[in-house]
């Protein structure tokens, strides 16, 4: 099997899970972009290692449900496939990172997604 794969093994990232979920749930481009910002933010945070990449992807979209966008099928996905407490904890962590940007160790992610960050920050307050 490894020879067939040319020893090309990789660990799935939160963004890979996000792409799949966005496609399955027919999310908008803006929802994907906001979710991608949150996934990238988590990917550079050592503290975020406690969550699985799939949980981070789901939490990044679920936090959008809390602010303005509504993705109806996402709640069903969370209830069927994930530990709701873990998703809630991950969302809480994301919210804290966004609201406490000045304490952040990863300014480049905020710079890259400046417009998304400003929109989310205003909606999360």
Q: Do 86 and 54 meet the contact criterion of CB atoms below 8 Å apart?
A: no
Measured CA to CA, the distance from residue 87 to residue 120 in angstroms comes to 18
What confidence score (pLDDT) does residue 91 get?
Answer: 92
Using pLDDT thresholds of 50, 70 and 90, give the confidence band for residue 88.
very high
Measured CA to CA, the distance from residue 101 to residue 28 in angstroms comes to 26
What confidence score (pLDDT) does residue 104 get?
Answer: 63
Condensed to tens digits (0 to 9), the pLDDT of residues 3-59 reads 777 777 778 899 999 999 999 888 888 889 989 999 998 988 888 899 999 999 999
Residues 6+ apart with CB under 8 A from 20: none
pTM above 0.85, yes or no: no
Q: Give the rounded percent of residues in the chain with a pLDDT score beyond 70.
A: 94
């Amino acid at each position: 099997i490894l020879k067939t794969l040319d020893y090309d093994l990789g660990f799935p990232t939160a963004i890979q899970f996000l792409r799949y979920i966005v496609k399955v749930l027919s999310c908008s481009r803006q929802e994907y972009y906001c979710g991608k910002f949150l996934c990238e933010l988590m990917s550079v945070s050592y503290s975020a290692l406690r969550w699985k990449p799939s949980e981070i992807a789901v939490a990044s979209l679920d936090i959008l449900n809390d602010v303005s966008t509504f993705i109806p099928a996402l709640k069903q996905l969370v209830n069927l496939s994930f530990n709701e407490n873990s998703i809630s904890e991950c969302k809480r962590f994301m919210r804290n990172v966004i609201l406490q940007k000045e304490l952040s160790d990863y300014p480049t992610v905020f710079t890259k997604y400046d417009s998304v960050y400003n929109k989310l920050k205003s909606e999360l307050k």
